[in-house]
Structure 1
Amino acid sequence: MPKKRYDLVIQGGSVVLKESVAKVDIGISQGVIIAIEPALPIEEAELVYDATGLHVLPGMVDIHVHFNEPGLGQWEGFATGSAALAAGGCTTYVDMPLNGIPPTIHVSALEQKMSLAENTSYVDYGLWGGLVPGNLNQLSALASRGVVGFKAFMSDPGGEGADIFARADDMTLLEGMQEIASFGGILALHAESDEMITELSARKRFNNQTSSRDFAESRPVIAEVEAVSRALVFARETGCSLHFVHISSRKAVDLIHEAKLQGMNVTAETCPHYLCLTDKAMETIGAVAKCAPPLRSQSEQDAMWSAVQEGGIDVIASDHSPCPPSMKWSSDFFEIWGGISGAQSSVLLMLEEGHVKRGISLPQISNLLSYQPAARVGLDHRKGEISVGMDADLAIVNMNRGFVLTEEDLLYRHKQSPYIGRSFSCSIAATFCRGHLVYDLENGVSGTSVGTFVPRMIGGES
C-alpha cells in the first residue's frame, strides 16, 4: 500500500500565522510542515487532528528557563520541567547555565548537561553557555558545540560552594564581549548594579528591615537602568550583540530601544510575572512571588504593557526559576531563594492578559512568545513560526474553555506557583513537537520523550 502524503493533518483550526489568522489546514510529514492550504485532502493523511473551533499557534520558544541539571535535579530537571512546558504549549526551550553543578561554563559541563537531557526531554531544547571570570578561553569552544549564546550576571547570582556561577566584573564583561563579538555570538545579561544592590541590602539588614517591601526597595529601578546603560557602553565599544533578560522597568526598555534605533544589535526580554503581578503579590502571595529584579508597582506594570503594545519588548520568556519549598520559607525575605515557577502558564497568561483583556493581536502575541525568541537565538530556521519548511511545533488552544489553575494541574517537580488559584478563560487543548503529540488535555503528557537538541545556527550552518 503506497505511503500517504501526510503523516498528520491539523484540520479546521484558526491558524495564527506570522501576520494574520487564517482558517487553513496544516499538512505535516516527517515532523516538518509541508503544506498550508484552505482544505487539504484528509484521505492523504495517516492521522487527522480535528482543530475545528480551536486556535493553532506556533509552540512557544521559551529562551529562559532554569532546569538546574546536572547536580540540582531535585530543584527541577529536564523531565519534569519539559513536561510542564509541553502542558503549557511550549515546544522548545533554552536552559540557562547557572545553578547546575557544575555550571555550563566549560565544555565538559556542557557535555554532562547534554547527556542528561538526551532522551529525557518531552520537547526540543537549546542550551546557554555562561560568561564568568576566568572562562574566556572556553567561549569559542562552547559556541562551536552549539550553545545559543552566553549568560552573564552584573549582580551576584547567589549560591554556595566552590564551583558556582559567579558575577562578571567589568573587565570580564568587556573582554567577554570582545571575544563573543569575534565569532558572532550573543551575550544575555542580568542587568542590575551589584554595587547599588549590595549597599542598599546591607543598610536594610543592618536596621533589621527584612520584609518583602524592604527587599523590593533594595533593588530599585535605577539599579536596573544603571546596569543596562553601562552594558550598552561596553557593547558599543566591542560590537557585541546583547540580549537583556527579564527587564522590569519602562526606563530600561526605553534605553534599549533607543540603542536599537541607533543601530545596535540589542534586544529586550520581559517575563509574564512583570506583566501579570505587582509588588503587592509579594505581600499577599508571599515568597513564591519573589524574583530579581523584584516585581514592580502597578504604574510600572502599566508602562511595561504600553511598551509591549508599542514594540519596545522583543521577547517574552518565563525565567522559570524553581527551588525546593524549604528554600521559600524564612522570616527574612532577603534569605528566601528568588525565583518564580511559572513556565507552564506563560502562553495562557499572555493570551489572557494580552489578547483577551488588552486586545493585542494573536500574531503579535505569538511573535513575542515564539518567532522573535527563536530568531534572537538563531533557531528561526526551524522554530517559532507556522510556515512551510518549519518544524511542526504547534500549540492548540481552546479560547472558550476556561479553568482555575490548581496545584494538581502543575507538572513541576515542586508544585508551587504564584498563579495557583488564578482563573483563565482559555486552555491548552494539545501540544505537538515536530508532529508528535506530546500533550493533550484529556490524557496529559505523552509517555515518550521526543525532545532533541537544537543548536544555534551561525553563518548558515546548524
Structure 2
Amino acid sequence: MSHELVIKNGLVILEDGEVNTDVAVDKGKITAIGNDLTGEKVIDAAGLIVSPGMVDAHVHITDPGGGYRDNWEGYVTGTASCAKGGVTSFMEMPLNQVPATVDKKSLDIKYAAGEDKLKVDVASFGGLVPFNLEGGIQELNDGGVAAYKCFLGTCGDRTIDGDFENVDDYSLYEGMKQIAKTGKVLAIHAENAEITDRLGEIAYANGETTLEAYVNTRPVFTEVEAIEKAILMAKETGCRIHICHVACQEGVEAVIKAQQEGVDVTCETCTHYLYFTTDELDAIGPVVKCSPPIRDKAQKAGLWEHTLGEGISFVTSDHSPCTPDLKDKENAFEAWGGISGVQNNVDVLFDEGVQKRGMSLKHFADLIAANPADRYNLDQKGRITIGKDADFVLIKPNAPYTLKAEDLEYKNQISPYIGREIGAQVAQTILRGQTIYSQAEGVTSEFPGTFIKK
C-alpha cells in the first residue's frame, strides 16, 4: 500500500520509547508505523529525531488588540513563530487581547480575529474573572473552550474597558464551583497579590531599579501560599486545577503533596525557569522580566530535579510578548513582565534536558506533547500513534547555532535567548501531514491551522 506521505529513516519517539522506523500519513492522520513503508511523498529524516509536535499549553496572543495592543503579537506572527519552533498546537490564554475572553461575545470576537490567520492549531482558555460569574463561565463552555484560566496575582489594566482582571477569594470559590460542573480544568497564576504588590511599591519608593530587587519583592512564599490556597479551594469545590509556570521547587512539592492526598492538580514550569538564574538578569535587562520571577541557582536545580522526575507535568513557554518600548526601561519595576519564548521551547529544552542532562526522549515528548494534550483533552494531539493528527517536529541533535534577532518570527524581534548558543535545531515542522516550516523553505505562506473547540 502506498501512503500520501511517509517519514523515513528517523529516530521516532513512540509511546513506549524511541525506535528507528517509518511513519505514514493519510488525510492528515497517522495511518501506519513500521519498516519499509512507501509513499507518494517521502521525507528523509535520517539523522533526525521525529517527535510529536509540541503542544504549548501557555501562549498569549494579543489579537485583537482593541486599539490598545495592536502592535503586540498577532495570530499571523505568533503562529509563524510556533511553526518555526516546532509547536504544532497551543493553548491560548484569555488575555492580553482586548476584549479579554470571558463570555460568548468576546470568545466569538477572538475566533473571528483568528480566521484564516493560523499556521498551527489553537485551543482556547476562557477566563475566570470577578465579572463573568453570572453566565459567562457556561457561555465559554458552550463556545468550546478547552479549559479556564484565572489570576491570583494582580493583572490587567483598569483603564482599558474589557481587560482581564484577577480574582478575589469569593470569585475564585464561586468560579471553581461553576467550572467543576463543566469537568474542565482551571489553570491558575498563583502569586499573593497583596504582598507582592505592596513589596513592589515599597521597593520602588525606596529607589530600587534592578531586576534583582524586583525578584526580591516576589519571594518564594508568596507563590507557595497562593498555590496552597488554590489547592484548598479545589478540595472544597471539586474543581480540577493546574498551576501555571511554577518557579520554585516548594511550589512543585505542594502540588505533589496534594496529588498524594487525591486532589486533581497538576503543574507546569517554563523553559526560562530552567535556563536563566537571578544573578544574570540585570546583565540581560528587562527583556527577561516575568512573574513569577526567575529565581536563584538552587531553585533552578530543584526545578530540574522535578522536571527530570515526575513532579512537573509539562513545560511551556508562557509566551507573553509586548512592544519594545515597554521593555526598554531603565527601571525594571516599570518594564512589562513577560517573556517572548514560543519559538525556542523545543530546541532549548531538547538541548538543556536531553543533551545536557540525559532526559529520555520519551520523557521529553511527554513533557512537550503527551501530557499537556492529555490534561486539556486535546485527544487528537500529543502522540505519534495511529489515528492521531500527523503533527511532528523533526529535531536535528548536536547542531549548535547562535540565535539572532533576525531569526525570530515574532512581530517584535525581542527575546532573552538572542545571542545564546543553542545545541539543537528544529529542522522541520509538520501539521496534520503538511509541512509548515523547514530549514530549506522557511515558514509556510499558507494558514492550515484551525481552532480546536471542545
Which band: TM-score by shorter chain?
Answer: over 0.9
Q: Which amino acid aligns with 1:94?
A: M
The residue number in structure 1 matching 2:51 is 57
The residue number in structure 2 matching 1:181 is 180
Q: How far 1:443 moved relative to its partner? A: 1.3
Cα contact 2:22–2:35 (8 A) shared by 1:
yes
Cα contact 1:67–1:73 (8 A) shared by 2:
no
The residue number in structure 2 matching 1:38 is 35
Cα contact 1:69–1:101 (8 A) shared by 2:
yes
Q: How far 1:442 moved relative to its partner? A: 1.4
Q: Which amino acid aligns with 1:219?
A: R
The residue number in structure 1 matching 2:15 is 18
Give structure 1 regions of 4+ aligned residues with deviation exceeding 3 angstroms.
none
Deviations along 1:382-420, whole A, 9 cap, x unmatched?
000000000000001111332111111100000000001
Deviations along 1:152-171, whole A, 9 cap, x unmatched?
00011143423211110000
User: Which aligned pairs between 1:5-404 and structure 2 lie closer than 5 A?
Assistant: 5-40=2-37, 42=38, 45-71=39-65, 72-136=69-133, 137-159=135-157, 160-379=159-378, 381-404=379-402
CA distance in 2, matches of 1:435, 1:363: 22
CA distance in 1, matches of 2:205, 2:42: 64
Quick one: percent identity of the two aligned structures? Answer: 40
CA distance in 2, matches of 1:278, 1:18: 33
CA distance in 2, matches of 1:7, 1:117: 29
CA distance in 1, matches of 2:107, 2:197: 31
Cα contact 2:348–2:424 (8 A) shared by 1:
no
User: Which aligned pairs between 1:401-416 and structure 2 lie closer than 5 A?
Assistant: 401-416=399-414
Could you list the runs of 5+ residues in structure 2 that have no partner in the other structure? none
Cα contact 1:5–1:29 (8 A) shared by 2:
no
TM-score, normalised on structure 2?
Answer: 0.97
Q: How far 1:146 moved relative to its partner? A: 1.1
The residue number in structure 2 matching 1:459 is none
Cα contact 2:128–2:175 (8 A) shared by 1:
yes
The residue number in structure 2 matching 1:454 is 452
CA distance in 2, matches of 1:70, 1:207: 38
Q: How far 1:113 moved relative to its partner? A: 0.8
Cα contact 1:85–1:343 (8 A) shared by 2:
yes
Instruction: Name which of structure 1's ranges 29-38 and 156-165 shifts more when overlaid on structure 2.
Output: 156-165
CA distance in 1, matches of 2:322, 2:44: 39
Cα contact 2:348–2:423 (8 A) shared by 1:
no
Q: How far 1:444 moved relative to its partner? A: 0.4
Cα contact 1:281–1:289 (8 A) shared by 2:
no
Q: Size of the alignment, in residue pairs?
A: 449
CA distance in 2, matches of 1:18, 1:320: 28
Partner SS, residue 430 of structure 2: strand
Deviations along 1:163-196, whole A, 9 cap, x unmatched?
2111100000000000000121211100000111
CA distance in 1, matches of 2:280, 2:242: 27
Q: How far 1:38 moved relative to its partner? A: 2.1
Deviations along 1:28-62, whole A, 9 cap, x unmatched?
0000000001221x2xx221111111110000000
CA distance in 1, matches of 2:217, 2:399: 41
Q: Which amino acid aligns with 2:430?
A: F
Q: How far 1:331 moved relative to its partner? A: 2.1
Q: Which amino acid aligns with 1:32?
A: K
Q: How far 1:5 moved relative to its partner? A: 3.9
**Does residue 1:438 correspond to 2:432, yes or no?**
no
Q: Which amino acid aligns with 2:71?
A: Q
Deviations along 1:288-345, whole A, 9 cap, x unmatched?
1000001000111001001112210001110000000000122221110000001100
Q: How far 1:74 moved relative to its partner? A: 1.2
Partner SS, residue 226 of structure 2: helix
Cα contact 2:278–2:294 (8 A) shared by 1:
yes
Instruction: Name which of structure 1's ranges 329-338 and 347-356 shifts more when overlaid on structure 2.
Output: 329-338
CA distance in 2, matches of 1:231, 1:107: 26
CA distance in 2, matches of 1:127, 1:114: 9
Cα contact 1:250–1:307 (8 A) shared by 2:
yes
Partner SS, residue 243 of structure 1: strand
Partner SS, residue 223 of structure 1: helix
**Does residue 1:422 correspond to 2:420, yes or no?**
yes
CA distance in 2, matches of 1:85, 1:280: 29
Cα contact 1:84–1:412 (8 A) shared by 2:
yes
CA distance in 1, matches of 2:145, 2:139: 10
The residue number in structure 2 matching 1:460 is none
